[in-house]
Structure 1
Amino acid sequence: MTLDTVKHAGETPDTDQPWAELGLKPDEYARVRDILGRRPTGAELAMYSVMWSEHCSYKSSKVHLRQFGEKAPENDALLVGIGENAGVVDVGQGYAVTFKVESHNHPSYIEPYQGAATGVGGIVRDILAMGARPVAVMDPLRFGAADHPDTKRVLPGVVAGIGGYGNCLGLPNIGGEVVFDACYQGNPLVNALCVGVMKHEDIHLAKASGAGNKVILYGARTGGDGIGGVSVLASETFDDSKPSKRPAVQVGDPFQEKLLIECTLEIFREDLVDGIQDLGGAGLSCATSELASAGSGGMRVELDRVPLRDATLSPEEILMSESQERMCAIVEPGKVDRFLEICEKWDVIATVIGEVTDGERLEIFWHGEQIVDVPPRTVAHEGPVYERPYARPEWQDALQADDAGKLARPATAEELREQVLAVVSSPNQASKSWITSQYDRFVQGNTVLAQPEDSGMVRVDEDTNLGVAVATDGNGRYAKLDPYAGAQLALAESYRNVAATGARPLAISNCLNFGSPEDPAVMWQFAEATRGLADGCLELGTPVTGGNVSLYNQTGETAIHPTPVVAVLGVIDDVNRRTPMAFSDEGHLLYLLGDTKEELGGSAWSQVIHDHLGGLPPAVDLGREKLLADILIAASRDGMIDAAHDLSDGGLIQALVESCLRGGKGARIIVPDGIDPFVFLFSESAGRAVVAVPRSEELRFGDMCEARGLPATRIGVVDGEAIDVQGQFALPLEELRTAHEATIPGLLA
């Protein structure tokens, strides 16, 4: 077959090309021809198809994501914002922290182990590319119904992939979530987060500048796995045929990635790179076009120099391959030898595949023949921008009118006790220790808090005990009822979780998981959630540093619940002052902070007891969230509280059960006058937390709450070996522990 060169493309304008099979729309293919002034070569078509995919180009979401910049709050801590591999924030003492959350949803359904493993590997390389040492990972997960047979296939594979890859890298897994809902059947959400630490002067950016500088590809050889990969899989709706796309799922090698990490960090220490980019979605197509686009010149690449695992790969396949554990660096000629020496030391393959030019084109050659000649910005940054039609769905009013307040409530104290047991042992509220025990949470020795704490926390500096805390949250049920409020509730809960451990919330990353953007109802959900998140971040003063949009999360015509996952990062000056969630000292007084209202829409109780979703989610008061956070942080810093736990899914009773079981101590609880015991226990009103206050600090703590205007109600005391809601029921901790811990192993046995 004749090689499809640039010259050949110019001479054969009418050649049929598989643009539709590669995911391009007719108008997109026409635009490529307009940009080039001819038909694209096969290699150019491959590059545009993967880079203009939904996953890589954000073509349906860009118009809404701009709000994160337009409404960005003033924040002196933000060092690198949206547009780079990951955001970077100043955490003090000369340290910077980078963090980001991304999705690997569709690959993880097709091939659960490798899909999840390479999701971890990809996000770790994003953090590494910023110049940071990765120090921790997290994994917000969503699966279908807990008792569905396919959940038994997908969940163990995903968990094994996350644990296997992260454990081999020696990175602690410090947090995340596991949620079950039938809406995720056939379309699980596997989001992965990584946190990295560096000094300010170590920040690196993805750009290719300096004519004559060399382009070095280093890491694993390029193979046939992952051709098209996430860039294609994540850009279309799922149907029954998708398991046939197994070859598109990348295959990871965590030991190779560990070598790549240490090699890259040594290269950074010797200041050998001018620009760097990891190879993730869209592989070499992305790395070369983004580096050239962000730089000051052009780039020439000799594609036949790329080290291969499969010698039969075509140029198009090499450009589209998403084989893992690869990086691309821009290196000055005088530093190339030392760069290659370090790579050889770490047994990492490194090859000079090209150089930066003083032109404006990305030119790629195959055995001396030119197969790509494009303006790099048109590939990387000037793809299609769609203003998709969106409209509030016709069923939204009826859904919100179907209020949870009409549902039958427990009529007796015994029935209330039974429903408490049912909720706390339900799959979403039960202990996830079967899952988290497969992750190494304490490797490296700097983990301060980890699952099931409100947020994960790691020490940044061993001398000063500076630390950072990270939490991820997102309630798709709330967002289905009201996407604007649902996104803000996800932000508020994550913000609250960080503050509950004593850390000051600083910035966010997000992973926006939605159905097909071609559905106006889904696009309305996306537009509302994005608007809600941008408005919420502005009010809380937490800028969006970056993140990911994952669309087409639906099977056939059935979309998942809109699921904005929000990660909040906070800083704590001394990790020794962190606040755990465990009630561990008898005699400590329990205070409920915030207002409890009858808010049951989208609640765990309505789901578990009545299989109901309707009404409105809890009201959002971000001013109250800021006040609550200030109180929790001050109380932690000044030693006024010994434990704190935010209230969210499952309400007060869920928080009490988790804190009591964590500390091995019971609690005597008094229902305040004027409130229904059922509402007191199960309401999911936002802006609340329960804290354990030493008796010696009660007066000081109470005065602080009163002075700041935060409602603080004494509801009981840490005592005994049961949760005793006086006048209602008592539940021995042994019975609660059995119910709470047996559910997940029982489902997956």
Structure 2
Amino acid sequence: MVSLSEYELDVARKRLGRDPSPVEVKVIDALWSEHCSYKSSKIFLRSFPSEGPRVVMGIEDWQDAGAVDIGDGYAIVLKVESHNHPSAVDPFNGAATGVGGIIRDIISKGATPIALLDMIRVGELKDDKNKWLLKNIIAGIGFYGNSIGIPVVGGELSFDESFSDNPLVDVACVGIVKKDKIKPSVVKEPGLKLVLVGLTGIDGLGGASFASRKLSGENEIGAVQIADPFAGKIVMDVTLEIADKVEAIKDLGGGGLAVAVTEMANGLGARVYVDKVPLRVKDMSPEDIIISETQERMLFAVREENVEYVCKAFEYYEYPCAVIGEVTSDSFIRFIYEGKEIASLPSQLLLSPPLYAWPIREKARKINVKPNVELEQAVRSVLAHPDLASKEWAYSQFDYEVGTSTVVKPGEADSAVVSLPNGKLLAIKGDANPDLCAEDAYECGKAIFAEAYRNLAVVGARGIAAVDHLQFGDPKKPEIYSDFVDAVRGIGEAARFFSIPIVGGKVSFYNENKKGVAIKPTPLVVMAGLVEGKLLKPKVEEGSLVLIGYTRNEMRGSLFAKLFGPYGEVPKARLQEDYLASEVVLDLINQGTILFAKDVNRGGLMGSLMAILSKGYSAKVDPDRILGTDDLMAKLFSENGGRFIVITNSPESVVERAKRRGTIASVIGEVKKGNYLEIGSWKLNVKKEVEHHSNYLEVEMSD
């Protein structure tokens, strides 16, 4: 099955001046798939800021990952990808191969992978299928990361009915490389030999096309690749060993050889001898060899005198290595099988698909009605929500300390922190907010970028680079496309405000269930930053509780609104407040003034307090001291940005520092040992909620 429309086939015919052969149709389909071409998104993605003084390699055509200078001759390489459709069909292999693919993207830059993040969204666990999906997604991620020896240091796990049938499995990876050793994924001269390592099989056939249409449930298992982390370990180690001897490196991902060869040629031509490709399965058809997405394969552009060196390094491990062709100057991509040319297509045709800007239409907003809910019901319901539960059941299945570089571990803070070879500390975090994006994708785009920035600040880091992943339903549906355009606009605006370049990303459309119902719009931002002064490992202790920033009656898109119905206004991302509040936190960390810091996001103030309550402490809050709105529910549950809670023994210093930075802070209560939450004169024993927080996933997934 191909995803090309009749219009696109007609465009191809006109440009070629003839009918493409069946093999050529599959090659065009792979290159023009939404997954590989970004044909419905590229014109908007160009608005992202991608340059800056630290950027070594940004959003360039056909580069597999972005690179950012971190000083002392080093650069980090950053990338985010997803394996949503494969994980919906075969969650174990779908998730595992997502990890393998992102690792190969990093090593294609000559960089050593040092950390992984996983951001997972599934349907509610009352459904047995969702339990099955989650259990196998976690197992697949752990299987690959643990086996290959790269720590999974952080991530997200949240639940919503819109992700039933179509889970979201995002994986990000960070690598480290000497700046002068970064490898391109494209070539600039003809005559180089194309060297392929690894075996090609029948798994992953048409995967790029599969990812570019909605799930049907019919005969889709063949589009899912099979994971082999032990082969992946060989590929990683040897690729890094021979990187100095090659001119370009390309991972074989979506579209297989068809895409890898064409993108590596970068407007030049290539001649590929399909029958020289090492096969895992006998008697594969040439078109299947060309589009297979079998994992653990890499393509190298190599000078002839270095071919023997490269192949010997792989053959030492009995890993297949073969010269399958060469780069040519005639700007045609040619596939030859048993002496016969079975495909001959202009590079520019393959690299220039039709680009689309689909109609847009804003969604009608649900009626705004303030729910009639008692305080105790609201507090108990929010604190017990699965999104706020401990994720230890998941991250305990990952070896997050392998490599001995993990400094702040999963569950310890809002961001993970790893040590780098130059002695610096790198913080990384991924953030999304589907509920807010379903209300207002523009404000959501700004908000998730700002949240990532705040999450880095709580450990003492300042953001330096970001990548994004934009996940939506069918772009041809006007309301869905409107959300996509608005999210891009919001993310771009925030990136420009914070002067943080977006050095890479991904777009995933057609995320819908089998009934054609789309997921909630889920743009995701992964941000990396450097600890510039002191590192804070947030530690809950007795002390004064201080809230930094203004609280507003902006309840739309909040967890409270999800549980009890929409009311209030959509949170407006006031980026200046996010920046100023983050500067206050950074100042306080470097002064050694605070013991604990957490930004206010999911669940509002109550959600943030759960990080304190779950450690065996009580929190006493005076709502009259919360500055901003007079609405009690908004004071407790609003998720507007620009806010942090901190624990300190010097509350006056915190308030004064905020004032100097041009924002506000107020002492709203205190933290002591115990099991209580006090809000004014109201007091609640939260032992039951804390136990639920600690045990929820373990209990649910033990069935």
Provide TM-score, normalisation by structure 2.
0.95
2:252 to 279, 286, 308: 279
Aligned to 1:572: 531
Letter of the structure 1 residue corresponding to residue 180 of structure 2: E
1:22: Cα distance to partner? 1.4
Equivalents in 2 of 1:336, 1:224: separation in Å? 27
Q: Kindly provide the amino acid, as one letter, of the partner of residue 687 in structure 1.
A: G
Are residue 221 (structure 1) and residue 192 (structure 2) matched? no
Aligned residues: 695
| Structure 1 residue aligned with 2:547 | 592
Mapped pair 1:154 → 2:138: no
The DSSP-based 3-state class of the residue aligned with 2:466 is strand
Q: Is the 8 A contact 1:73 1:541 kept in 2?
A: no
Q: Which residue of 2 aligns with 1:342?
A: 313
Residue 385 of structure 1: aligned partner? 355
Q: CA deviation at 1:676?
A: 5.1
**Offset from partner CA, 1:14-57 (integer Å, 9 cap, x none):** xxxxxxx4121112112222233322223221110111111111
**Displacement after TM superposition at 1:163 (Å):** 1.1
Contact 2:31 2:37 in 1 (8 A): yes
**Would the aligned equivalents of 2:50 and 2:59 in 1 still touch at CA under 8 Å?**
no
Aligned pairs (5 A) from 1:431-580: 431-452=390-411, 453-461=413-421, 465-555=423-513, 556-573=515-532, 577-580=534-537
The CA deviation at 1:177 is 1.0
1:731 Cα deviation after fit: 4.7
* Corresponding residue number in structure 1 for 2:101: 122
Counterpart Cα distance in 2 of 1:204 and 1:105? 28
1:302 — aligned with what?
A: 273
The corresponding residue for 2:648 is 693
The answer as to whether partners of 1:602 and 1:614 remain within 8 angstroms in 2 is no
**Aligned to 1:142, what secondary structure does the other structure show?**
strand
1:139 pairs with 2:98 = no
Q: What fraction of aligned residue pairs are identical, expressed as a percent?
A: 36
Q: CA deviation at 1:223?
A: 0.3
Find the partner of 2:167 among 188, 206, 226: 188
> Which residue pairs with 2:261 in the alignment?
288
Give the corresponding residue for 1:322: 293
- Deviation string 1:514-541 (CA, Å, 9 cap, x unpaired) is 0101111111111111111111211121
Distance 1:51 1:513 in 2: 20
CA distance in 2 between partners of 1:387 and 1:733 (Å) = 51
For residue 414 of structure 2, what is the amino acid of its counterpart?
D
Gaps of at least 5 residues in structure 1 are 1-20, 411-415
Residue equivalent to 2:378: 419
CA distance, structure 1, for counterparts of residue 255 and residue 547 of structure 2: 50
Q: Is the 8 A contact 1:121 1:165 kept in 2?
A: yes
CA distance, structure 2, for counterparts of residue 542 and residue 409 of structure 1? 41
Counterpart of 1:228, as a letter, is: G
CA RMSD in angstroms comes to: 1.9
**CA–CA separation in structure 2 for the residues paired with 1:275 and 1:42:** 30
- Paired AA for residue 74 in structure 2: Y
**Structure 1 residue 74: Cα displacement:** 5.8
Q: What's the secondary structure of 2:594's corresponding residue?
A: coil
User: For the Cα contact (< 8 Å) 1:669–1:725, is it kept in 2?
Assistant: yes
**Residue identity matched to 2:151:** P
Task: Point out the more displaced range, 147-156 or 277-286.
Answer: 147-156
Cα offset for 1:694? 3.3
Q: Distance in 1 between matches of 2:126 and 2:510?
A: 25
Q: What is the deviation of 1:92?
A: 1.8
Q: What is the alpha-carbon distance in structure 1 between the residues aligned to residue 574 and residue 248 of structure 2?
A: 43
Q: Is 2:612 aligned against 1:667?
A: no
1:721–1:732 CA contact under 8 A, matched in 2: no
Is it true that 1:642 corresponds to 2:595 in the alignment?
yes
1:382-402: CA deviation from partner (whole Å, max 9, x where unpaired): 112112112223xx2x42xx2
Contact 2:250 2:264 in 1 (8 A): yes
Whole-Å separation in 2 of the counterparts to 1:614 and 1:541 = 34
The alpha-carbon deviation at position 117 of structure 1 amounts to 0.7
Q: Bigger CA drift: 202-211 or 282-291?
A: 202-211
**Does 2:674 correspond to 1:721?**
yes
Shift of 1:729: 4.0
- Post-superposition shift, 1:319? 0.8
1:263 aligns with 2:242: no
2:101–2:295 contact (8 Å) kept in structure 1 = yes
Structure 2: unaligned runs, 5 residues or longer? none
Please name the residue that 1:582 is paired with: 539
In structure 1, the partner of 2:368 is 403
* Closer/same/farther in 2, CA of residues 530 and 114 from structure 1, 3 Å limit: same
CA distance, structure 1, for counterparts of residue 317 and residue 676 of structure 2: 55
1:39 aligns with 2:19: yes
String of CA shifts for 1:582-616, please: whole Å, max 9, x gaps.
Answer: 31x33x322110011222212112223x2x34654
User: Whole-Å Cα distance in 2 between the matches of residues 348 and 704 of structure 1?
Assistant: 60
Cross-structure match for 1:428:
387
Asked if the contact 2:612/2:618 (under 8 Å) is kept, the reply is: no
Q: CA distance change for structure 1 residues 216 and 448 in 2, over 3 Å: closer, same or farther?
A: same
How far has the Cα of 1:334 moved from its partner?
A: 1.4
Q: CA deviation at 1:250?
A: 0.5
Q: Which residue is equivalent to 1:60?
A: 40
- Are the aligned partners of 2:558 and 2:603 in contact in 1 as well (CA < 8 Å)? yes
Query: 3-state SS of the aligned residue for 1:263?
Result: helix
Cα distance between partner residues in 1 of 2:423 and 2:659: 31
Tell whether the 8 Å contact from 2:273 to 2:335 is kept in structure 1 after alignment: yes
The corresponding residue for 2:604 is 651
d(CA) in 1 for partners of 2:139 and 2:570? Answer: 34
Indicate the SS of the match to 1:194.
strand
Amino acid at match of 1:129: S
CA separation in 1, counterparts of 2:604 and 2:357?
39
SS in 2 for 1:643: strand
Instruction: With the length of structure 1 as denominator, give the TM-score of the two structures.
Output: 0.90
Distance 1:590 1:260, change over 3 A: same
| CA separation of 1:618 and 1:580: change in aligned 2, threshold 3 A | farther
The whole-number CA distance in structure 2 between the counterparts of 1:677 and 1:33 is 64
Provide the secondary structure at the position in 1 that maps to 2:135: helix
How far off is 1:677 after superposition?
4.6
**Separation in structure 1 between the aligned mates of residue 679 and residue 316 of structure 2, nearest angstrom:** 67
User: What amino acid is the match of 1:579?
Assistant: L
Give me the whole-angstrom Cα distance separating, in 1, the residues matched to 2:245 and 2:287: 30
Distance 2:568 2:213 in 1: 31
How far did residue 720 of structure 1 move? 1.7
> Pick from 35, 40, 56: which aligns with 1:79?
56
The offset of 1:733, in angstroms, is 6.3
Per the alignment, residue 249 of structure 1 pairs with 224
- Farther-moved stretch of structure 1 (632-641 vs 441-450): 632-641
Shift of 1:673: 4.2
> Over residues 366-396 of structure 1, what are the superposed CA-to-partner deviations in whole Å (9 max), with x where a residue is unaligned?
12111122222321x2112112112223xx2
Contact 2:614 2:693 in 1 (8 A): no
Deviation at 1:298, TM superposition (A): 2.2
Whether the aligned pair in 1 keeps the contact of 2:625 and 2:668 (CA below 8 Å) is no
8 A contact 2:621–2:680 mirrored in 1: no
- The amino acid that maps onto 1:56 is C
Distance (Å, rounded) in 1 between the aligned partners of 2:658 and 2:505: 35
What is the 5 A alignment of 1:190-205?
190-205=169-184
